[in-house]
A = this chain, B = another copy of it.
């Protein structure tokens, strides 16, 4: 299960049925739970002076694809699934069923809930706080410094079920409201109200998310997306989403 070319510290705590790929390095301060697969060319548990001695903790039934880097001092829940070449730095607490797209970069000191999914090349600045069931699409950046460079940090806050489309910049301290939608190529300077669409540079509200219709000729609204998109979610969640009047 551990490739002969992998370098695995004897101090690392490796669960049962963990697979570790060729040329991968597992450093000392790492806990990997059962039934997780770590692809080739990865580094897990990179030392950091900011990690406060905390280990890297990877939950069970996870898949970390090749060329990925995780620092010590972060904890990721069960059923993590990454693309290739992701980075997660120190002191982030991340929930279960997290999907992190290829080349995405979590700068550390973040709080991320359950069932969050990012696509490729998402850059999440330090001190970002993300709720549950959030979607973030490629080449989106969450910033944190209101007058760069400075020692001040105001992390972005994203509430549950929000969707942020491709190539957006979210400015420091902005709150993206529950079930809202940020359109592609937007610069978000102000808080986004729940269930609201914002678009543009700078982004402005253009109406409720409910006005976007599915393209399947049903005339149903595409949002909340929980009404029609269920791939990979639990039966409990799906049941709730279908039967609730609203999210």
Contact present for A187 and B184 (CB under 8 Å): yes
A22/B41 in contact, CB under 8 A: no
Cβ B150 vs Cβ A214 within 8 A: yes
Instruction: Give the interface residue-count category, chain A.
Output: 35 or more
CB-contact partner of A167 in B141, B148, B229, under 8 A: B141
State whether A87 touches B87 (Cβ < 8 A). no
What residues on B are CB-neighbors of A228 within 8 Å? 150-151
Task: Please state if B165 and A148 are interface contacts (CB–CB under 8 Å).
Answer: yes
Task: List the B residue with the shortest CB-CB distance to A107.
Answer: B120
Instruction: Please determine whether A84 and B84 come into contact, CB atoms closer than 8 angstroms.
Output: no
With A and B bound together, what is the CA distance between A167 and B69 in angstroms?
24
Chain B residue contacts of A143, Cβ below 8 A: 137-138, 165-166, 184
Please report the C-alpha to C-alpha distance between residue A77 and residue B85 in the assembled complex, in whole angstroms.
Answer: 26
CB of A97 within 8 Å of the partner chain: no
Chain B residues, Cβ within 8 Å of A46: 66
